[in-house]
Amino acid sequence: MGCYHCTMAKKPLIETNTYLRDPVQYRTRLVTNVSTSTAVETGTKIEAIARTLTEKDKVKILPVRTRQGSGR
């Protein structure tokens, strides 16, 4: 039987998610995520936003897949 009243030990996401452990990979994926989300909201090109975010850090930008036609 399971214990329904027991609590699990709380660990930060940075300790449990392997993708967040590598700082370079984490920063690269964060820039890609923020760039694509901002582009959807503002209509600015993804590359321009990513360039702005990485000018100081020189982070590698992951290629973004574009869809043909409307995504709706």
Indicate the number of domains in the chain.
1
Residue 1 counted as domain residue = no
Is residue 3 in some structural domain? no
49 lies in some domain: yes
- Asked if the structure places residue 33 within a domain, the reply is yes
Structural domain contains residue 60: no
- 63 within a domain of the structure (yes/no): no
Contact 47, 61 (CB under 8 A): yes
**Per residue in 31-64, pLDDT tens?**
999 999 999 999 999 999 988 888 876 656 566 6
Q: Where are the alpha helices (DSSP H) in the chain?
A: 13-16, 18-21, 23-42, 46-54
Kindly report the pTM of this predicted structure: 0.57
- Does residue 62 sit within a domain? no
Cα(28)–Cα(68) distance, integer angstroms: 25
At 17 the pLDDT is: 80
Q: What is the pLDDT of residues 2-25, one digit of tens each?
A: 677 777 778 888 778 887 788 888
**Residue numbers of the domain that contains 49:** 14-54
**pLDDT score for 35:** 93
Residue 46 near residue 64 (C-beta atoms within 8 A):
yes
